[in-house]
A = this chain, B = another copy of it.
Amino acid sequence: MTDDTAKPVRKRQARGEKRMAELLDAASEVFAAQGYAKTSTNAIAAAAGASPGTLYQFFKNKEAIADALMERYVKRLREAHGEAFDLSVAGLPLEEMLDRIIDPIVAFDRANPGYYALLSDPHLSAELASAKRPAQKLMFERLDQILEKRTPGLDAERRTRTAAVAVHLFRGLLPMIMAASEQELPAVVNETKAALRAYLASSIGN
């Protein structure tokens, strides 16, 4: 059987995809300012200089906007530090490894407050689960792989739990990281690294 369900062969992609990008830009801003739940789809359309009808031509519902936006965030996260967050850091001393992992993530999160807005809305979990999952997987799986390469003999269950805890520790400090001024930021980031370094050293060694 041939795959005749694939690609509806969309045309007019120049104008259309530009519009989608504008709508996602607008959604990013409004989500960052008001959060997902309190953001109306009409407000997103208005912020993009479009009409509700146009918005719903590209996104079947509000959740699809969050999904697409998160997908774009994850893609950009990969691009932004694909090389820094890859497995090559596993061989570095712990302190250096954390610098290489955390600095780009902090920069990305602060540059994209809408990403934080979507990630940190725990009670829209059910609704946003499909949007959040890829982003959480990105962080967790990368770290799990790094830990595996770093300490090959480690029990898999223990390694996985360590990775999950480390990701949650970082997310716990994200509110401080996001709220910090430029002057405060270095101290907050240093404290973040100190916490993760202490935990990881105690859990899997230096």
A residues near B (Cβ < 8 Å) are: 34-38, 117, 120-124, 161-162, 164-165, 168-176, 187, 191-192, 194-195, 197-199, 201-203
Q: Is the interface of A mostly helix, strand, loop or mixed?
A: helix
Work out how many copies of this chain go into the complex.
2
CA distance A82 to B27 in the complex (A): 45
Pick from B122, B173, B197: contact of A175, CB under 8 Å? B122
Pick from B161, B164, B173, B187: contact of A169, CB under 8 Å? B173
Name the distance in Å between A87's Cβ and chain B's nearest Cβ: 24
CA distance A173 to B162 in the complex (A): 12
Name the distance in Å between A26's Cβ and chain B's nearest Cβ: 17
Can you sample 17 A-B contacts with CB below 8 Å? A34-B123, A35-B37, A35-B123, A35-B124, A36-B123, A37-B37, A37-B38, A38-B124, A165-B173, A165-B192, A169-B169, A169-B173, A170-B172, A194-B202, A198-B199, A198-B203, A199-B199
